[in-house]
Amino acid sequence: MSALIDVATRGTHSSAAVPLTARLRSAGVWIVAAVAILITVIATMLMTSDREADAPLHYDSAARDGTKAMVETLRDHGVEVTTTEDFATARNASGQPETTLLIPTNTDMLSQGDVDGFRSELATHDNRLALIDPGSTVQDFTDRITVDDSISPLATPEKISHPDCQVPAAQAAGTVETGDTEYAEARKGTEGLRTCYPFTGPGVTQIDGGEVTPGSAHGQLIVDDGGGGKGDVPVTVLGNPDWVTNAGIDEEGHASLVLSQLSQTDHLVVYYPTESAEFESAPSPLDYVPSWVIAGALWLVPCVFILLLILGRRFGPLAVERLPVIVPAVETVHGRAALAARSHDRTGALHTLRTGALLRIAKRLALGPEAGHHDIIVAIANTTGRDPAQVEAVFSSAVPRTDSDLSHTVHLLTLIESEVS
């Protein structure tokens, strides 16, 4: 019997091995997707690793509107450059001898007390102050320079400005690109103040009605050596931010003009004002989340969508196909016997044999379809003369615990069935 079971189940002992190339081919799409996501996350981390460095005119920014090229060029030319966003550090550094303090932007964030602190430190050692297009806040630093508001609003300045002054640095630099703001002396005839690069072109005329007196010196570059009074500080105003940016410093004479104006002292302090803590809004939970986490989460959205499409696709209806072979009943019997033997399902096997025997005996005894299980057992006992309890045990209640119990019960089952004529 065991030999027949082995023959029937021989095909279930092993399965065909899947080639390695087929496995790699099926996983290739997921490998490529994983690599693409990884590269994107890394690139996002690198691009968003320092958000403050991308601020306009920031000394560490390598973007087009940053000033890192200017700072590094000054260092290459022997100027000791100190960069900071801390007010106290900038104030202390501006108090050392032979120093120029450069404030490239955000002058409107400084209070009058901050400005007076810088002026005091600079005046102590006759140091210089340089501002890049400060706008109307220039008057917080000095009362000798103001924004030129006497230009006709219909004016269209030329795109290129010429020095038109006696400042050696401007004469050496030559032409520069024209900016949006022009500055002027606050009082006509101010001594020690020189202006360069005035607006020229169609409609550029001085009109009455502004704070600047017509005929006052005006231009985009103002060099004020100071009036010699107490607290007066030499001030240089560079009226066009494009002159100092990474994208514009190599245009026209920008590099020559900027480097010559900012390298007049041995030390240069670049102070980038930022909002103080008292003006900063309360941080949101997203401020504590690294930028790469957000980028990764955004990438998970299409990935999850594709995964849902793959897992949620529905297969079509089953196709009925006529097999080209006929499976003999004996093979089915052997297969079921093998499954029962492997699972040790003695009760299930005995139930199948009991059911078949009861159906055959009921047919022999001419019992109708309404005859129940108990009726068939009573009929067997009356026909064979056996004890109804024994018949009940063989055909219903006996539970085989071992293979020997199963064999004994099957033997009695076959014997009683043979006694039914």
The DSSP annotation for 132-162 comes to ES-GGGHHHH-SSEEE---B-TT----SEE-
pLDDT at 294 > cutoff 80 = no
Least confident of 234-243, 272-281, 365-374: 272-281
Q: What is the average pLDDT score of the chain?
A: 83
Which carries the bigger pLDDT value, residue 25 or residue 61?
61
pLDDT at 221 > cutoff 90 = yes
Burial of 312 (0-12, 13-18, 19+ CB in 10 A): exposed
pLDDT at 49 > cutoff 70 = no
Q: Per residue in 379-406, pLDDT tens?
A: 888 888 889 899 898 888 888 888 888 8
pLDDT at 4 > cutoff 50 = no
Mean pLDDT of 277-299: 67
Q: Per residue in 306-339, pLDDT tens?
A: 887 777 766 667 777 776 777 777 777 777 778 8
Q: How high is the pLDDT of residue 153?
A: 75
Highest-confidence range of 41-50, 108-117, 299-308, by mean pLDDT?
A: 108-117
| pLDDT band per the 50, 70, 90 thresholds, residue 278 | very low
Q: What are phi and psi of 156, to 5 degrees?
A: -130, 90
Which carries the bigger pLDDT value, residue 147 or residue 44?
147
| pLDDT band per the 50, 70, 90 thresholds, residue 14 | very low
pLDDT at 20 > cutoff 70 = no
Return the SS3 of 180: coil
Query: Beta strand pairing status for 128-132 and 99-103?
Result: parallel
Q: How high is the pLDDT of residue 335?
A: 79
Q: How high is the pLDDT of residue 315?
A: 67
Q: Per residue in 64-103, pLDDT tens?
A: 999 999 999 999 999 999 999 999 999 999 989 999 999 9
Mean pLDDT of 279-285: 60
Q: Is the separation of the CB atoms in 148 and 198 below 8 Å?
A: no
Distance CA 268, CA 254 (A): 18
Q: Per residue in 249-271, pLDDT tens?
A: 999 999 999 999 999 999 999 99
| pLDDT band per the 50, 70, 90 thresholds, residue 372 | confident
Rg of the chain in Å (alpha carbons): 49
Mean pLDDT of 112-121: 92
Q: Is the separation of the CB atoms in 245 and 66 below 8 Å?
A: yes
> Which among 178, 192, 302, 183 has a CA at the least distance from the CA of 241?
178
Q: How high is the pLDDT of residue 86?
A: 93
| pLDDT band per the 50, 70, 90 thresholds, residue 44 | low
